[in-house]
Amino acid sequence: MNNFRFLVLTASVLFFVNGYSQADCILGVGVTDDATIAEIFQFNELQNEKLKSLSADLKTKSDELNNELVNIKDSHPQSSVTELRQLADKYKGIMDSLGKVQATTDKEMLALFNPKQYEIYQSLCKEAYRSPYIVAPTMYTDSIVDENR
C-alpha cells in the first residue's frame, strides 16, 4: 500500500510538472525544498514563515487528494472500457485539482515577493521559457527603492 502511495505521489508530481509547467512557471512551493527557495530569493522573516505555512498546507491538501486517488482506484470498478474511462475522468479531475492547488499556493507566495524578488522570478521563468504568474509584488518598509530607474 505504501508503494502505491509513493507511486501515486510521484505520478502526481510528474504529471503536474509535465502537464502544467509547459506554459506556467511554477515557483514550486511544497515541491522544491523551502530552504532553496528562501535562499534564491533572499526571503525576509515574514516570507520564511509564510513559506513554511504554505508548504505545510499544500502537503495536507496534496495528501488528501492523493488519498482520494487511492480510494477511487481501490473502489471503482475496472472491468470494462466504460468503467476505465470513468476512472480516468475521476483521476484527471483530481490531478487537475492538484495542479490548481499548486498554482494557488505559488501565487500566494509570489504576492509576498518584493519587486526585486519578483523580477528575479520573472528572469528565471524567461530563462526556462515559461510564463510567469502575474501578481502585484509587495512593497516592504525595509525594501530599498532604486530611484535611478
48 in Cβ contact with 38 (< 8 Å): yes
d(CA 133, CA 29): 14
Residue type, 80: S
Q: How high is the mean pLDDT of the chain?
A: 84
d(CA 87, CA 57): 27
Burial of 105 (0-12, 13-18, 19+ CB in 10 A): buried
pLDDT tens per residue across span 61-72: 999 999 998 988
pTM for this prediction? 0.73
pLDDT tens per residue across span 41-67: 999 999 999 999 999 999 999 999 999
19: left (phi over 0), alpha (psi -120 to 50) or beta: alpha
Q: State the angle between helix axes of 34-41 and 115-127 in degrees (0 to 180), rounded to the nearest 10.
A: 110
- Is the pLDDT reported for residue 83 higher than 80? yes
Q: Residue 22: which residues within 8 A CB-CB, separation 6 or more?
A: 130
- Is the pLDDT reported for residue 14 higher than 90? no
Q: What is the pLDDT of residue 15?
A: 54
Q: What is the pLDDT of residue 75?
A: 86
User: By three-state DSSP, how is residue 102 classified?
Assistant: helix
Q: Which carries the bigger pLDDT value, residue 73 or residue 93?
A: 93
d(CA 40, CA 119): 12
